[in-house]
C-alpha cells in the first residue's frame, strides 16, 4: 500500500459508483456506497467489514456455490487473506471495509457477528471522517485500530439474525421513515411487547429502532443532496 496518507476514489471492478478510500501504511479503509454492484474480491489481505445499511443479494464465500443473503446493519464480518468472495446486490447498501496486511493468526474462514453495536459505532465515526472535506489522517488511523481491536476471535461464526419480524420492521422503517413512527406502533404491528421489540431489534442491528430511523433519514437526505 502507498506509504503516504491519502484519500481518493478507488476504482473497484463491478461498481458503478466508486467508494471513498483512505490508505496509510498497512491500512486501507473503504466506504462502499449504497449502489447496485456485482463484484468478485480475491483478497490477498485480511479484511473487516461493517454493514451500515441493510443489504440483500447473492454471494459466494470461499466457494463457487452462490446463496442468498440478507445482511442487517451492524454485522461485523472478518475475512482472512486468500478467501475468495463474490457478492452481488441490485440495490447495494453502505458498507465500511478495513483491509490490512500482516501475519496475524486468524481463523481460516469468514466469521460474522450480528448486532455488533461497538463495531457499528466505530464504522459510523469512520464514515464521517472519510466524508469530511479534509481527511484527518491521525483520526482515521486511530479509527482503523479501534475497529481492528473488535475483530472476532477464533470462536465459531455466528450467523446474522434473520428473524422475519425484524425484517418486516426494517422494511416498514425504510418505507415510512418520513412518518412519526413510534415504538408502540412498530411493536403492535408485530404483536409483541415494546421491550421485546427494543431488545430484539438491538440484538439484530446493534442499534435502537429510533437510532435506525434517524440514520435512515440522514441517508435519504444525503441522496437528495447528491441529486
Work out whether strand 20-24 and strand 37-42 pair parallel, antiparallel, or are unpaired: unpaired
Whether this prediction's pTM lies above 0.85 is answered by: no
What pLDDT, in 10s, does the model give residues 87-139?
999 988 999 999 988 766 666 788 999 999 999 999 999 999 999 988 888 78
HEC secondary structure over 7-26: EEECCCCCECCCCEEEEECC
* Segments of the chain scoring below 70 in pLDDT: 1-17, 42, 103-107, 153-163
Name 38's bridge partners: 88
Best CA proximity match to 158, nearest among 113, 125, 211, 202: 113
* CATH number of 6-148, picked from 2.60.120.10, 3.30.70.270, 3.50.50.60, 3.30.565.10: 2.60.120.10
Domain ranges of the chain: 6-148, 164-226
String of DSSP letters for 160-225: PP--HHHHHHHHHHHHHTTS---HHHHHHHTT--HHHHHHHHHHHHSS-HHHHHHHHHHHHHHHHH
Q: Is 65 within 8 Å of 23 (Cβ atoms)?
A: no
Sign of the alpha-carbon torsion through 68, 73, 76, 78: positive
**pLDDT of amino acid 137:** 86
**SS3 (DSSP) at 138:** helix
Amino acid at each position: 500500500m502507498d506509504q503516504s496518507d491519502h484519500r481518493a476514489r478507488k476504482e473497484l471492478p463491478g461498481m458503478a459508483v466508486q467508494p471513498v478510500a483512505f490508505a496509510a501504511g498497512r491500512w486501507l479503509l473503504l466506504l462502499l456506497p449504497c449502489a447496485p454492484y456485482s463484484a468478485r474480491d480475491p483478497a490477498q489481505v485480511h479484511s473487516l467489514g461493517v454493514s451500515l445499511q441493510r443489504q440483500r443479494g447473492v454471494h459466494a464465500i470461499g466457494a463457487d456455490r452462490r446463496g442468498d443473503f440478507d445482511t442487517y446493519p451492524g454485522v461485523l464480518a472478518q475475512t482472512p487473506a486468500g478467501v475468495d468472495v463474490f457478492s452481488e446486490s441490485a440495490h447495494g447498501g453502505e458498507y465500511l471495509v478495513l483491509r490490512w496486511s500482516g501475519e496475524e493468526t486468524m481463523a481460516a474462514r469468514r466469521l460474522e457477528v450480528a448486532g455488533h453495536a461497538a463495531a457499528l459505532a466505530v464504522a459510523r465515526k469512520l464514515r464521517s471522517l472519510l466524508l469530511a472535506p479534509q481527511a484527518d489522517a491521525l483520526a482515521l488511523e486511530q479509527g482503523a485500530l479501534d475497529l481492528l481491536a473488535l475483530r472476532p476471535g477464533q470462536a465459531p461464526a455466528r450467523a446474522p439474525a434473520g428473524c422475519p419480524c425484524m425484517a418486516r420492521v426494517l422494511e416498514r422503517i425504510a418505507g415510512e421513515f418520513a412518518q412519526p413512527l413510534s415504538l408502540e406502533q412498530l411493536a403492535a404491528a408485530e404483536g409483541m411487547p415494546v421491550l421485546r421489540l427494543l431488545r430484539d431489534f438491538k440484538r439484530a442491528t446493534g442499534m435502537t429502532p429510533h437510532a435506525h430511523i434517524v440514520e435512515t433519514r440522514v441517508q435519504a437526505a444525503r441522496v437528495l443532496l447528491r441529486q
